[in-house]
Chain A
């Protein structure tokens, strides 16, 4: 089974621009979560999508948004980029079956998209 894939792997943008990152989950996984990783703040949860609906949201400004398609692929968008948005953006997928056990909720991470804002 192919793992979680993220595109692009690297991205350089300038302040004020917007950017769209893409994530393809493991086949059969229905939940996709996004995290931002920075040296200062560590790993912070952005949002989670399940069945094309945002189910959980972290504490990020409205410039950060996302969506999920019917095939479970997900995109996140950051508008009006700021220097502080430079980070590694990680996507994780999970089976999210109904039992709620650790195997059902285990999150499998992609390689990330390294975003640099100049």
Chain B
């Protein structure tokens, strides 16, 4: 079974600074997808960034980038130039493709607070 671990339950960062959220996972599969989801307070969850395991290049979406280390099974999220709107729960998630839309396996989440 696949597991996802987020070791930082809570983090805080000053506005405009950079913060990195950690995620490790365990799987015996060689092909999979990794995601970071953001869940703002009382608002719905949205996808921040995705990474395909067969791609060596780290994914980037504007201020959000990942550091994907396949051998170490590590998938961290870096948020640059943090903004107050980045305050949210962040979930790391894993999915195995090509087998009928298998479910997402989530970590327990990291609560990020951006401080003015």
Which residues of A are at the interface with B, using a C-beta cutoff of 8 A?
Answer: 3-4, 31, 33, 35, 42-43, 45, 48, 50, 55-56, 58, 90, 92, 94, 96, 100-102, 105-112
Known: A42-B109, A58-B103. A112 touches B97 (CB 8 A): no
Query: In the bound complex, do residue A31 and residue B103 qualify as a contact, i.e. CB atoms below 8 Å apart?
Result: no
Interface presence of B90 (CB below 8 A): no
Bitwise interface map of B from 17 to 42 toward A, beta carbon under 8 Å scored 1, else 0: 00000000000000001000100000
Query: In the bound complex, do residue B97 and residue A100 qualify as a contact, i.e. CB atoms below 8 Å apart?
Result: yes
Report the Cα distance A108→B44, complex, angstroms: 9
- Residues in A whose Cβ lies below 8 Å from that of B105: 45
Determine the residue in chain A with the shortest Cβ distance to B31.
A100
Determine the residue in chain B with the shortest Cβ distance to A3.
B44
Known: A42-B109, A58-B103. A100 touches B50 (CB 8 A): no
Report the Cα distance A45→B52, complex, angstroms: 21
